[in-house]
């Protein structure tokens, strides 16, 4: 069985130092809050105290949530080293926090690698987890010392042999069973089991070392039992390599698709049990995972301002300054549950967050001229006025990372407040 991952107290200390007044490593605004304060409290405080300089929309990155999630990961999956999937949210402050807490990184492009390296992270803490890379990008990996990558085709072997012959390879395989995931990454990547011998032989003949196996069961709604079948399939690939007389594999990459809710507990049980069952005698096994949404989703909260209003009988229509082409891009998917709160700004310049008995069916539009830029339809909201605020929770995963500057409007990515406990 693999070695247990142990959390160090110094990592938390380093995190606080990194975001202290004298040690900020980012261009974003940093604020402290008491351990009892909520993210909603800090948003109210930002709006109240920075009325003349506040740029809306803005997001709050709560480092307390990052710490809690890392602690939970290390408790639930003590044998699995986290390699955060940078594509999920590449915010530099967020990456810095994860690095200080001991995370490694899954990068899919030179830009992502460059961001991680800029934080002082060693290149041996990066896996280039993209099974198909351009030759120029492979050359970049060589130049910065990133020496492990994924592959799933003979063509990729040939490119790596030519441009990065010292690189270690991890074979990406396709899980056999239907996992129920809304985003089935196996449609694009992963070798079938019957393709494995040819790929292993091609890498061996090229003089490249295949050091492990990777898979991804898909994201959003995947059946966590699928981890068991995928880990068993990976074990089959380990055995195939051994029969072919290749060097012993040492890395099992269980991919991503993790959420931070109750399904994470369920997934952890299945993963731990499968590793124990199928890799019990592999004492030097290194298990890694590629969590993205798990760390990013609940860590960011978005604050947007009401910039327009229209009343049509009982219907209320509002415009806010972020939308589906910006941070709120995920709201177009039917699986995404919008968690929206309000901050009302009354004539006495006080913020009112009390419950209101009277609500109206409300439509909330984004700022662009595209009529599909609609965030909420017939959503029950109290009467809102210009310069009131709508606050959206769980806005960290595939939000700003997927946003655009369509129509000249940018997302909250440019305005981030980093909050942590003093």
Element (H, E) at 267: helix 262-278
**Active-site residue, selected from the candidate residues 167, 340, 369, 402:** 369
- Say how far apart CA 142 and CA 165 lie, in whole Å: 9
Query: To which residue do tokens 């994201």 refer?
Result: 219
Distance CA 319, CA 328 (A): 13
Q: CA-to-CA distance for 40 and 340, rounded, in angstroms?
A: 11
126 DSSP β-pair partners = 105
| Cα(384)–Cα(361) distance, integer angstroms | 12
Reduced to 3 states (helix: H, G, I; strand: E, B; else coil), residue 151 is strand
369 is catalytic: yes
Torsion 403-407-410-411 (CA) sign: negative
Closest CA to 200 of 161, 174, 143, 238: 238
Smallest CA-to-CA distance from 77 within 235, 226, 290, 248 is with 290
Which residue in this structure is represented by tokens 């990065």? Answer: 164
Look at residues 204, 304, 288, 298 and name the one whose alpha carbon lies nearest to residue 244: 204
Residue 340 dihedral angles phi and psi, to the nearest 5°: -120, 130
Q: Tokens for 82?
A: 């986290």
Name residue 148's beta-bridge partners. 168
Indicate the SS3 state at residue 392: strand
**H or E segment to which residue 268 belongs:** helix 262-278
Cβ 240 vs Cβ 197: under 8 Å? yes
- Residue 298 neighbours by CB distance under 10 Å: 22
- Give me the active site residues, please: 369
């Amino acid at each position: 069985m693999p070695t247990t991952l142990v959390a160090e107290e110094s990592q938390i200390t380093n995190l606080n130092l990194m975001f202290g007044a004298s040690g900020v490593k980012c261009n974003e605004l940093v604020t402290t809050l008491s351990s009892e304060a909520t993210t909603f409290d800090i948003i109210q405080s930002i709006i109240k105290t920075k009325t003349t300089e506040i740029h809306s929309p803005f997001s709050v990155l709560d480092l307390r949530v990052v710490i809690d999630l890392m602690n939970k990961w290390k408790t639930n999956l003590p044998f699995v080293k986290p390699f955060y999937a940078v594509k999920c949210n590449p915010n530099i402050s967020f990456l810095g926090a994860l690095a200080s807490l001991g995370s490694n990184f899954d990068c899919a492009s030179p830009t992502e690698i460059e961001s991680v390296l800029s934080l002082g992270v060693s290149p041996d803490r990066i896996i280039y987890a993209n099974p198909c890379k351009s030759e120029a990008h492979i050359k970049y990996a060589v130049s910065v010392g990133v020496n492990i990558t994924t592959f799933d085709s003979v063509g990729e072997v040939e490119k790596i042999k030519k441009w990065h012959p010292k690189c270690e390879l991890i074979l990406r395989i396709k899980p056999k069973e239907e996992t129920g995931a809304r985003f089935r990454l196996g449609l694009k990547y992963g070798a079938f089991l019957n393709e494995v011998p040819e790929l292993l032989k091609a890498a061996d003949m090229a003089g490249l070392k295949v050091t492990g196996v990777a898979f991804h069961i898909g994201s959003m709604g995947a059946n966590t039992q699928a981890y068991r079948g995928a880990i068993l399939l990976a074990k089959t690939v380990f055995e195939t390599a051994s029969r072919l007389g290749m060097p012993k594999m040492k890395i099992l990459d269980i991919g991503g698709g993790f959420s931070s809710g109750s399904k994470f507990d369920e997934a952890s049980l299945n993963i731990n049990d499968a590793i124990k069952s199928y890799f019990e005698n592999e004492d030097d096994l290194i298990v890694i995972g590629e969590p993205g949404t798990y760390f990013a989703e609940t860590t960011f909260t978005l604050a947007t301002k009401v910039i327009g209003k229209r009343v049509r009988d009982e219907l209320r229509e509002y415009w806010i300054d972020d939308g589906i082409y910006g941070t709120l891009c995920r709201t177009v998917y039917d699986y995404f549950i919008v968690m929206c709160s309000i901050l009302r700004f009354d004539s006495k310049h006080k913020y009112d967050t009390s419950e209101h008995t009277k609500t109206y069916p409300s439509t909330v539009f984004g700022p662009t001229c595209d009529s599909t830029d609609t965030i909420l339809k017939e959503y029950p909201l109290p009467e809102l006025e210009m310069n009131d605020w709508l606050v959206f929770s769980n806005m960290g995963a595939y939000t700003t990372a997927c946003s655009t500057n369509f129509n000249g409007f940018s997302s909250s990515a440019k305005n981030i407040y980093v909050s942590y406990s003093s």
